[in-house]
Structure 1
Amino acid sequence: MKRTPITRIALYLVLFAGAVVSVAPYLMTLNSAFKEPAQVLTTPAWQPAFPVTFDNFAQVWSEYDMAGFLLHSLIYAGVVTAGQVVFSTMAAYAFGRMSFPGRDALFWGYLATMMVPQIVTLVPLFLIMREFGLIDTYLGLILPTAFGTPYGIFLVRQYFRTIPRDLESAARIDGAGTLTVLVRVLLPLSRPILATLATITFITTWNTLLWPLIVTNGDATRVVTLGISALKGQYSSQYHLILAAAALALLPLIVIFLLFQRHIVRSIALTGLK
């Protein structure tokens, strides 16, 4: 259907408004992070910082071990992301391309666990980690989500199902085994969806607060979300430091998105094609 100039303009205005609503909180956080402590509460968040100060970043970096918190989050999110990509890919290949008794029932039963709220499994997971002596350790942080999630497996499985089976059949005729087909045929064609899964997993893990709050209790494993929440006291809060810490925590996510945005867009485009 042809779009008239008025329709096109209206569409762009709606998209622009959506972009402003989505980006504005991040811009206001970055802007307020450069304000002096008195200005944070006395000026609107969108008012440009004047004079610009970097003291907030220097203070939160030197006095509150922000470098350590960022490093812990990087290790936590990086290992979980690598585990999710590897194990979700293997499980997705089994559910999407291999045939075995009860495959579909097992897959849909596993997928149904997505409807279980995280709070329901929080206490059992904590008790398991305590029995294995993994409280306040990196293993305790990583293990619950490092071996794949229903969402990740479903995402990759659906993408695998769009790849023609003729490619796999041709590889098997040439003598390729299951692992060779997965590594040398399917994975090169699935880079967009794997990049999407890695990006979503990294951002979700980086922003996680509840599980690190439950399973860690020391500075040796404290992630950046806990570090930021510790700046908010019961009776007073240092908002200028909270905003500076939030801006520092936001930068790695922006870098990750800019690196993988091309693959994310391509995966969305390809999944819409037959």
Structure 2
Amino acid sequence: MEANMEMRTPPKSKTASAGLLRTDRSGGSPLAGLLLHAVLITGAVLMTGPFIWMILSSLKQFHQIFLIPPQWIPDPWEWGNYKRSWEALPFGRAYFNSAYIAVISVIGKLLTCSMAAYAFAKIRFPLREPIFVLFLATMMVPGQVTIIPLYLMMKSIGWIDTHLAILVPEILFSAFGVFMLRQFMKSIPDELAEAAVVDGANRWTIYWRVILPLVRPALAALGIFTFLGLWNNFFGPLIFLNTPEKFTVPLLLNMFRGMYITDWTLMMAGSSIAVVPVLIVYLFGQRYIIEGVTLTGIKG
């Protein structure tokens, strides 16, 4: 009888078992979840605080900037700061300079980095791995260390106070870009290239028509990183450019600093204008950044 009763005992439903599994896997208490959200919200506020302060300060009068206690809400709202900031300096020209430098650098860098990454990932040649390790080791050298030799090189070929001094080094040398794309390309099966060879494809055809379409997420991520870095680049233009008509946006904003006083309201307004393209690129490209970096890390 006891054996029969045990056999007749209805088994637990699959739904209940799944619920228990979900409970066990989720783990933690509601209090831990609340604490986690509190920490994340606090971090978000701390990171967005300076940006919000910049926007609000761009709409204040000059004497309201350094009030103690701080006055967050402008009173009155000085919308004319944006017009005065735009007209005080040649922002239109600076926008054009930054835009075309960033776009040309992105196109050139994606081309050179993808070609080098393809060679390191798919072409066997003598000393490939040692050369790649040495190439990768250059990422450990700070840019401040190489800026003087680079300046002397640019001066010897007459590129000081030209945009070529910013464009050419950025396009021709990027260890991070090559490493990122190489890791992604190594995950692509060699059988695809071998099949293309059977069909009569050469190296260039394999690179252009087989490899590049498969690494679009990594290319998009690298392109966005390059655009954001060049748009915000201050150090390079400061070293190589001397003529205001050739200045980029970050370098032009520095001209609001005077010898004895800085017009912070106009600088904040100019900074708010300068950050618009960066926000647009990031908002539309964040999916590609996450996808490209994630897939590169997983497949490398």
TM-score, with normalisation over the residues of structure 1? 0.92
Q: Distance in 2 between matches of 1:179 and 1:82?
A: 18
Provide Cα deviations, 1:146-205, integer angstroms capped at 9, x if missing partner.
113111111111111122223323333332222222222221221111111111111111
Verify the 8 A CA contact 1:191 1:263 in the aligned structure 2: no
Counterpart in 1 of 2:267?
242
Counterpart in 1 of 2:220?
195
Q: Distance in 2 between matches of 1:270 and 1:27?
A: 33
Deviates more, 1:15-24 or 1:28-37: 15-24
Deviates more, 1:237-246 or 1:23-32: 23-32
Among the aligned pairs, what percent are the same residue?
Answer: 34
For 1:172, which of 188, 197, 211 is the aligned residue? Answer: 197
SS in 2 for 1:134: coil
Deviates more, 1:253-262 or 1:50-59: 50-59
Provide Cα deviations, 1:19-51, integer angstroms capped at 9, x if missing partner.
322222222212221222222222666823333
The 1:272/1:33 distance shift into structure 2, 3 A limit, reads same
Counterpart in 2 of 1:131?
156
Verify the 8 A CA contact 1:136 1:215 in the aligned structure 2: yes
Deviates more, 1:179-188 or 1:129-138: 179-188
How far off its partner does 1:273 sit?
A: 4.1
SS in 1 for 2:66: helix
Question: How many residues were matched structurally?
Answer: 274
Counterpart in 2 of 1:181?
206
Counterpart in 2 of 1:3?
27
For 2:252, which of 203, 227, 237 is the aligned residue? Answer: 227
The 1:44/1:219 distance shift into structure 2, 3 A limit, reads farther
How far off its partner does 1:272 sit?
A: 4.9
Counterpart in 2 of 1:86?
111
How far off its partner does 1:72 sit?
A: 1.1
The structure with the larger Rg is 2
For 1:55, which of 80, 94, 104 is the aligned residue? Answer: 80
Structure 1 unaligned runs (5+)?
A: none
Aligned-residue CA RMSD (Å):
1.9
SS in 1 for 2:116: helix
TM-score, with normalisation over the residues of structure 2? 0.85
Verify the 8 A CA contact 2:90 2:245 in the aligned structure 1: no
The 1:51/1:66 distance shift into structure 2, 3 A limit, reads same
Counterpart in 1 of 2:179?
154
SS in 2 for 1:220: helix
Counterpart in 2 of 1:77?
102
Verify the 8 A CA contact 1:28 1:45 in the aligned structure 2: no
Structure 2 unaligned runs (5+)?
A: 1-24
Q: Which letter maps to 2:238? A: L
The 1:269/1:210 distance shift into structure 2, 3 A limit, reads closer
